[in-house]
C-alpha cells in the first residue's frame, strides 16, 4: 500500500484534483502522505489536549519531508461511562477504532501513520489497527495527568471512587468528599495512576511501538511535545526504510511487554488488550504466557492503585527504559529486537539506569518475587480468570467464603452501599462478560466501594466482567467461559462455597459433579439484554475474555 499508485500519472489526475481542491500544492502531493490519527475530543481529559500532540507530529512530518493529513478517531472516557449503561460501549469501541482506521487508511492509501491515542481503548484499538494494516506506523500518546494533592496526600481518580464508598459508609462527610473530588484530577492527561490508559501507554513503549518515555512523560510538558515532533520525523524514516509494525510486534516484543506489565503490576485489562493486538499481528498469545512470565518476574515498581507512587514518579525515576534496564539484569528482557526509534531495545535501556530506588526497586529488594498479575483456573474458570495479585491484601490471597450472587453490577453496588455484604462474603457479579453484558463493563464502582468502606481485606469479588485498572483488592475478573456462554458462574447460587487460592492459581466452587449436572439440566439462559444496534452485533461476534475479547 502506498499513495503513489493513486496519485501519479494520468489515472491519478482525479486524485490530484481533489487534493488541489483542498489547497495542497503539487510538491505536497508528490511527497509521502502520512495519516495523523487524532483522537482529540472535549469529553475525555486524556484527549482534551491531543491537538497539541497532533500539531507537533505534523511539524515533525513536515520537517522530514512528508505531507501530514489528519483524520479523527473516537474515544470514550471510561470514568464518565462507568456505573451505567454507557459502560457497555468502551471495550466495544476498541473494535470501532481499529476498523475505522483500517477503512480510512485503505480508502486513501496512506504511506504511513502517526497514531495519537491516550486513554483506555484508543491505545489498544490503534495498536490493533497498526498490526492489521502493517504499514509503517508509530504511536505517540498524549501523556499522563499529574497527581492531585490535598492535605499533603497524593490523589488520583481512584481516590474519588473510594471516597464515595467512604461517604456512603459514614466515614467522611460531604465536605471532605467534595474536597477530594475537586483536587484529585488537577489537569488534563490520562488519569495519573497505573490504570489501564497509562498501563497501555507504557506497554506501547515496551512493545517498541512508541519512543522512549512515551509511556510516562507528563501531558503538559515540553518533553511530550518533543516526543511528538520526533515521532513525526521517525515515521518518515520508517516509510523510507519500509519498517512495518509486524517487524516490531514479534513474540519477543509481546513477552517484553508482559514482563514490564508484571514488573509494575499493570491493569488487568492489559490481559484483554495484548492478546487482541497480538491476534492482529498473527500471533497467538495464550493466558498461560502471562502466568509463566509472572511467576519469574519480580515486582519492582508499586504505583497507584497498588501503591502510593504515580506516573510522574515513575518518569522521574527513569521511566520504562529504567525499569526494563533493571529487569534485563536478570535476563528477563529481549534486548536484540527493533523499535520505532530505529535502535534496539538494548541500545535504549543501556543508557537509562534507575534514578530513584524508592520508586523502582532493585532485583535484590523487590516488593514481591513474582509479578503483579495472576491467572487463576479451576472448575469456576477452566479457561482462566485474572486478578491483580499485587493489589490483594495478604489476608485475601487465600479465601473460602459463601457466594452472594448478582445478575448485574447495579444490584451488587446497591447491596454494598446498603451494607448487606458481610465479612467473608464472595460477591459474584455475572452476565457482565463480553457477550452477556454486552461489552464487559468495567466495574470500579463495586471494588472502590468495598475498599472505601474498609472491607477490601474481608470481601472478594468475582465476575465474568472486568475491572478498572484502578481496582484493588481480591477482585477476580474475566472469568471464562462467561455465564452467557454456559460458564459455571451462571449456575452459582447464594451460599455456594467459593475457594480462592491466588498463590496456587485456583478459583473453584465446592460443588459435586452431580449437583452441577442437576443445575445444568434446569438452567434457562436469559434473553440478550441488547437486541438492536452495534452492541447486538458485537454480542453475536465477540469471543471469550480469555481470547482478548476479539471479534470473529
Catalytic residues: 468
Q: Which residues, other chains included, contact 362 with Cβ-Cβ below 8 Å and sequence gap of 6+?
A: 300, 326, 354
Neighbours of 233 (CB within 10 A): 18
The values of phi and psi at residue 375, to 5°, are -105, 120
Q: Which position has the grid cell 516509510? A: 239
Sign of CA dihedral 207, 148, 50, 312: negative
Strands 426-429 and 398-406: parallel
Helical segments of 242-299, H only: 245-248, 251-264, 270-280, 287-296
* CA–CA dist 248, 335 (Å, integer): 12
Contact 68, 421 (CB under 8 A): no
* CA–CA dist 229, 54 (Å, integer): 9
Cell of 237: 524514516
Q: State in Å, rounded, how far the first CA of the chain is from the last one.
A: 25
Contact 174, 97 (CB under 8 A): no
Helical segments of 418-547, H only: 444-452, 513-522, 533-541
Contact 217, 224 (CB under 8 A): yes
Q: Which position has the grid cell 452467557? A: 484
* CA–CA dist 293, 284 (Å, integer): 16
Q: Which residues, other chains included, contact 529 with Cβ-Cβ below 8 Å and sequence gap of 6+?
A: 431, 436, 437, 438
Contact 242, 2 (CB under 8 A): no
Q: Which position has the grid cell 471469550? A: 544
* CA–CA dist 138, 227 (Å, integer): 11
* CA–CA dist 380, 482 (Å, integer): 10
Neighbours of 358 (CB within 10 A): 8
CA separation, residue 472 to residues 145, 316, 407, 482 (Å): 20, 25, 22, 22
The values of phi and psi at residue 281, to 5°, are -90, 0
Amino acid at each position: 500500500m502506498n499513495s503513489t499508485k493513486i496519485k501519479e500519472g494520468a489515472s491519478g489526475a482525479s486524485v490530484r484534483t481533489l487534493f488541489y481542491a483542498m489547497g495542497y500544492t503539487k510538491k505536497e502531493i508528490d511527497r509521502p502522505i502520512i495519516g495523523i490519527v487524532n483522537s482529540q475530543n472535549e469529553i475525555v481529559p486524556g484527549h482534551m489536549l491531543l491537538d497539541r500532540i497532533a500539531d507537533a507530529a505534523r511539524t515533525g512530518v513536515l520537517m522530514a519531508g512528508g505531507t501530514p493529513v489528519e483524520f479523527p478517531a473516537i474515544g470514550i472516557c471510561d470514568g464518565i461511562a462507568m456505573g451505567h449503561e454507557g459502560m457497555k460501549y468502551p471495550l466495544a469501541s476498541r473494535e470501532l477504532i481499529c476498523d475505522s482506521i483500517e477503512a480510512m487508511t485503505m480508502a486513501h492509501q496512506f504511506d504511513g501513520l502517526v497514531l495519537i491515542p491516550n486513554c483506555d481503548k484508543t491505545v489498544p484499538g490503534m495498536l490493533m489497527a497498526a498490526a492489521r494494516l502493517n504499514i509503517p506506523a508509530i504511536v505517540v500518546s498524549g501523556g499522563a495527568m499529574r497527581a492531585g494533592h490535598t492535605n499533603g496526600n497524593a490523589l488520583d481518580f481512584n481516590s474519588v471512587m473510594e471516597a464515595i464508598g467512604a461517604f456512603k459508609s459514614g466515614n467522611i462527610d460531604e465536605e471532605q468528599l467534595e474536597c477530594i473530588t475537586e483536587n484529585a484530577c488537577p489537569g488534563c492527561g490520562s488519569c495519573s495512576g497505573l490504570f489501564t490508559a497509562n498501563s497501555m501507554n507504557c506497554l506501547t513503549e515496551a512493545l517498541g511501538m512508541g519512543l522512549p518515555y512515551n509511556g510516562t512523560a507528563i501531558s503538559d510538558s515540553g518533553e511530550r511535545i518533543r516526543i511528538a515532533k520526533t515521532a513525526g520525523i521517525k515515521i518518515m524514516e520508517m516509510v523510507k526504510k519500509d519498517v512495518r509494525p509486524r517487524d516490531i510486534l514479534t513474540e519477543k516484543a509481546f513477552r517484553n511487554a508482559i514482563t514490564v506489565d508484571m514488573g509494575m503490576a499493570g491493569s488487568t485489562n492489559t490481559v484483554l488488550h495484548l492478546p487482541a493486538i497480538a491476534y492482529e499481528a498473527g500471533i497467538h498469545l495464550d493466558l498461560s504466557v502471562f502466568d509463566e512470565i509472572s511467576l519469574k518476574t519480580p515486582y519492582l515498581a508499586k504505583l497507584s492503585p497498588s501503591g502510593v507512587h504515580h506516573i510522574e514518579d515513575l518518569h522521574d525515576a527513569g521511566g520504562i527504559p529504567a525499569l526494563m534496564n533493571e529487569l534485563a539484569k536478570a535476563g528477563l528482557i529481549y534486548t536484540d529486537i527493533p523499535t520505532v526509534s530505529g535502535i534496539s531495545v538494548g541500545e535504549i535501556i543501556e543508557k537509562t539506569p534507575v534514578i530513584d530506588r524508592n520508586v523502582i526497586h532493585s532485583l535484590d529488594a523487590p516488593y514481591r518475587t513474582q509479578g503483579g498479575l495472576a491467572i487463576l483456573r479451576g472448575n469456576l474458570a477452566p479457561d482462566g480468570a485474572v486478578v491483580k495479585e499485587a493489589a490483594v491484601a495478604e489476608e485475601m490471597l487465600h479465601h473460602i467464603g459463601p457466594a452472594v450472587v448478582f445478575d448485574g453490577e447495579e444490584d451488587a453496588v446497591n447491596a454494598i452501599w446498603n451494607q448487606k455484604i458481610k465479612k467473608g462474603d464472595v460477591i459474584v457479579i455475572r452476565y457482565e462478560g463480553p457477550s452477556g453484558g454486552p461489552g464487559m463493563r468495567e466495574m470500579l464502582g463495586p471494588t472502590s466501594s468495598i475498599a472505601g468502606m474498609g472491607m477490601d481485606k474481608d470481601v472478594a469479588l468475582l465476575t465474568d466482567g472486568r475491572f478498572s485498572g484502578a481496582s484493588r483488592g481480591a477482585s477476580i475478573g474475566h472469568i471464562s467461559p462467561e455465564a452467557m456462554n454456559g460458564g459455571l458462574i451462571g449456575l452459582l447460587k447464594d451460599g455456594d462455597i467459593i475457594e480462592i487460592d491466588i498463590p496456587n492459581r485456583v478459583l473453584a466452587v465446592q460443588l459435586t459433579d452431580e449437583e452441577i449436572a442437576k443445575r445444568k439440566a434446569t438452567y434457562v439462559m436469559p434473553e440478550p439484554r441488547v437486541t438492536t444496534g452495534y452492541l447486538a452485533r458485537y454480542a453475536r461476534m465477540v469471543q471469550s475474555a480469555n481470547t482478548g475479547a476479539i471479534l470473529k
